[in-house]
Amino acid sequence: MTLATPAQFVQAVRAHEIEPVVFCTHLLHTAASGEGTIDPSQTAEEFDIHREAANHLHDLASEFGLVGFTSQTTNRVKVNRNTTIEFIQFLNIFDDHLTASEAELLANDAVHDVELSIAVPDEFDERSAELMARLIRLVRNADRELLLVTPFFTRFGVDVFVDHLASATDQGVDVTLLTRDVTDDGENADHVERIRETVRSSGDTSNFHVYQYDSPHGRLHAKTLIADAEVAYVGSANLTNYSLKEAIEIGLIVRGPVVDEVTDFFEAVRRSANTHEYSEGPVRP
């Protein structure tokens, strides 16, 4: 499941002045009290809406895999319990983090030539943080290859991106992660291994590569995300909860010839004698 799915779903359901989690809970509870199915009249009565609106909600739920129609004539649906529970859990994870503007951004795939991307603490009410959403959108839209360069992860950062990265590998996108401190048994190593485990379970490990840069002359501190060698984010944020939701971070998402320069630079870093590939165990030159 990608963040784009609940982002679009949230917007559509809230247009009926219903909270998405409440609607999903209604699906579960109403189906459990019957034979696993729900008639639009039950949804209309529950939320005091017209049957046409209830039909629309059932259509939305079907589009996002929460239900399957048992009758296209009556719009009666059978609830996919496991999918709906997973959907609720996903929505709850991001309930405290995803802003309204981020949801709107994720529901719109348009990417301009240059985009300003920022992360700011919550008290900056006049300016929304959109960095996390823009990075997820880059991962989601990649067709061929992704290069993610970041020195640090936290559990939050992994939770936000891991399913998107795994899904990309499953769709044939070659994903390369360039980071540091993978082989010192520290927290970063644990987070990278969590990513690998997710790719192993729901992606394609043949399309996932991890490199560690380790030099006595300097440490990796760059942060970038390059998709298909055509669009790139270059900025200050690590994939951590502090960078994505608490600190003031800034970056640009760019297209054009400069992306070639960024790609070439990090390819040189990857080929450096100080960079080694990590493959489910000790690094190898």
User: Which segments of the chain does DSSP mark as H helices, in order?
Assistant: 4-14, 20-33, 40-47, 51-63, 81-95, 100-106, 131-141, 155-170, 187-202, 241, 257-270
Reported confidence tier of residue 278, pLDDT bands at 50, 70, 90: confident
CA terminus-to-terminus distance, the chain? 35
Is 62 exposed, middle or buried, given 0-12, 13-18 or 19+ CB atoms closer than 10 A? middle
CATH of the domain at 71: 1.10.10.10
Last-in-domain residue among 30, 57, 88: 88
One domain for residues 77 and 157: no
Q: What is the pLDDT of residues 123-182, one digit of tens each?
A: 665 555 678 888 888 898 899 999 999 988 888 878 888 888 999 999 999 999 998 888
One domain for residues 81 and 121: no
One domain for residues 205 and 251: yes
Question: Could you give the CA distance from residue 155 to residue 242 in angstroms, rounded to a whole number?
Answer: 11
For tokens 């400069």, name the residue.
258
Per the structure, how many domains does the chain have? 2
pLDDT at 115 over 90: no
Sign of the torsion angle spanned by Cα atoms 191, 195, 196, 201 = positive
Question: Could you give the CA distance from residue 135 to residue 152 in angstroms, rounded to a whole number?
Answer: 16
Full strand arrangement of the beta sheet holding 114-119:
114-119, 249-255, 231-235, 223-227, 145-149, 174-179, 208-213, 275-278, 283-284
- Work out the average pLDDT over 78-84: 88
One domain for residues 40 and 73: yes
pLDDT at 83 over 50: yes
Domain that holds residue 259: 111-284
Query: Which of residues 277 and 97 earns the better pLDDT score?
Result: 277
Beta bridge partners of 283: 278
Reported confidence tier of residue 95, pLDDT bands at 50, 70, 90: low
pLDDT at 189 over 90: no
Reported confidence tier of residue 3, pLDDT bands at 50, 70, 90: very low
Give a yes or no: residue 94 inside a domain. no
Question: Could you give the CA distance from residue 82 to residue 64 in angstroms, rounded to a whole number?
Answer: 13
